[in-house]
């Protein structure tokens, strides 16, 4: 489910675009994103196992106050549900784009069909059925995209240097942060917390690492596929490039990969929105509001699909939504993991804190950047993010991170 949740059309779009524009130069970003995703997901899951609290309950307990508890719970819930709704539009449109690469089926009909499949599965409210379905689809998608990537003529030296040497080409700053943002997704943290319930710590870490690494391999495959694109980026140009390099069969594999990414994420986004209610507001899965939430998120995707809005701008816009919530969740997880009253024997060690603070710094930059971009969009200002602005945002995030670390160390000593 974790793999299915973060391998959506946004990942396909961002990763293939990165490959098309900068070749294999940004592969190292995925290596970092995999590490960051594992660290944050493990933290959310460890909280669930060690404290027997969902992520939302633990965060609310950390910031506990009679006056603020309900308002914080509502704010968290609204932020995650709105984020899921924004992603859902891209999920539906991405799945439709995958089908459109090889067929001429009417877009509104395709959108309705995808929503119907997702709706029927979610209506069953059977957790095991949903996870098994997603496992099958994500497995086939992974094999399809990995198979295409292995058929490409990729130099081993370029591949290794791209993974091992951090380098940001001029103009690639936003795309670099986008690759991190498409891997470390806020609502996945709530999903991970739910999945870890009643698991053993060792089993949780093994399963979680495997799922994130699998998703990372798929993302790497997408960058390799994108590196073969000539000219402007589009899904059609990716398919054309693959057809030229490996034969027409690769077009169908890529089309299925894009469709599967959209379909699986179209299921996990509404599901995660509803699960967030159980985490923050203690809503039971049998409650009407649980079902109403995923229905509203699904309908958001349907509206965008039927309106035939061009998919790529919507998908990239959805990527920006997670950046605002992600730094808050990273900081909250850091604070909870250092709370001895909540975590007891599973409180964070110093090395875990160093790594987590580094991730807080990076997600802080991503969050501040998305605030700037949202401000530009609201004021209708041309969105030009200079290197000096990125440096300023990095310094601001660093100050916040250092202050957070210093305050936490003083309290735990």
Name the band, by pLDDT with cuts 50, 70 and 90, for residue 2.
confident
| Averaged pLDDT, 141-151 | 85
Q: What is the pLDDT of residue 79?
A: 78
The highest-confidence range among 57-71, 131-145, 184-198, 350-364, by mean pLDDT, is 350-364
In whole angstroms, give the CA distance from residue 87 to residue 412: 38
C-alpha pair distances (Å), 268 with each of 12, 299, 387? 16, 14, 36
State mean pLDDT over 245-263: 85
**Please, are residues 316 and 10 in contact by the beta-carbon 8 Å criterion?**
yes
**Lowest-confidence pick of 79-93, 128-142, 299-313, 380-394:** 299-313
Q: Which pLDDT belongs to residue 302?
A: 85
Q: Give tens-digit pLDDT for 264-298.
A: 888 988 998 898 888 888 888 888 899 999 999 99
Q: In the chain, pLDDT over 70 holds for what percent of residues?
A: 91
Provide the whole-model pTM.
Answer: 0.84
Give the residue from 84, 99, 139 showing the smallest Cα distance to 266.
Answer: 84
DSSP state letters, 53-100: --HHHHHHHHT--TTTHHHHHHHHHHHHHHHHHHHHHHHHHHHHHHHH
pLDDT given for residue 28 in this prediction: 94
If you average pLDDT over every residue of the chain, what do you get?
84
Query: What angle, rounded to 10 degrees, do the helices at 288-306 and 107-124 form?
Result: 170
Does the pLDDT value for residue 152 go beyond 80?
yes
Specify the CATH class of 2-412 in words.
mainly alpha
Instruction: List pLDDT tens digits, range 174-214.
Output: 788 888 888 888 888 888 888 887 788 999 999 899 989 98
């Amino acid at each position: 489910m974790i793999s299915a949740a973060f391998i959506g059309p946004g990942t396909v779009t961002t990763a293939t675009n990165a490959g098309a524009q900068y070749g294999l130069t940004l592969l190292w970003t995925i290596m970092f994103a995999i590490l960051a995703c594992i660290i944050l997901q493990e933290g959310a899951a460890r909280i669930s196992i060690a404290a027997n609290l969902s992520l939302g309950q633990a965060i609310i307990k950390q910031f506990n106050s009679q006056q603020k508890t309900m308002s914080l719970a509502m704010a968290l819930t609204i932020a995650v549900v709105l984020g899921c709704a924004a992603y859902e539009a891209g999920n539906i449109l991405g799945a439709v784009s995958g089908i459109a690469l090889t067929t001429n089926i009417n877009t509104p009909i395709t959108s309705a069909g995808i929503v119907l499949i997702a709706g029927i599965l979610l209506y069953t409210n059977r957790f095991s059925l949903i996870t098994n379905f997603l496992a099958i689809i994500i497995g086939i998608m992974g094999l399809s995209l990995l198979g295409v990537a292995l058929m490409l003529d990729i130099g081993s030296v370029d591949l290794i240097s791209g993974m091992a040497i951090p380098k940001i080409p001029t103009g690639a700053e936003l795309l670099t942060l986008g690759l991190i943002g498409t891997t470390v997704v806020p609502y996945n943290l709530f999903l991970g917390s739910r999945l870890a319930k009643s698991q053993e710590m060792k089993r949780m870490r093994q399963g979680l690492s495997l799922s994130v690494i699998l998703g990372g391999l798929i993302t790497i495959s997408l960058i390799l596929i994108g590196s073969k694109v000539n000219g402007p980026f589009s899904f059609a140009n990716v398919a054309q490039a693959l057809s030229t390099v490996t034969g027409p069969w690769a077009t169908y594999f890529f089309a299925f990969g894009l469709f599967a990414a959209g379909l699986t994420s179209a299921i996990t986004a509404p599901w995660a929105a509803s699960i967030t209610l159980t985490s923050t507001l203690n809503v039971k899965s049998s409650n009407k509001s649980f079902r109403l939430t995923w229905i509203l998120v699904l309908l958001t995707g349907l509206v965008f699909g039927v309106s035939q809005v061009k998919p790529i701008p919507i998908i990239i816009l959805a990527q920006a939504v997670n950046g605002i919530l992600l730094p808050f969740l990273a900081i909250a997880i850091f604070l909870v993991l250092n709370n001895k009253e909540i975590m007891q024997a599973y409180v964070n060690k110093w090395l875990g804190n160093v790594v987590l603070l580094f991730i807080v710094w990076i997600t802080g930059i991503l969050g501040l950047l998305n605030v700037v971009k949202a401000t530009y969009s609201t004021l209708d200002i041309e969105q030009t993010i200079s290197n000096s602005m990125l440096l300023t945002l990095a310094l601001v995030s660093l100050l916040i991170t250092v202050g957070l670390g210093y305050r936490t160390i003083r309290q735990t000593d």
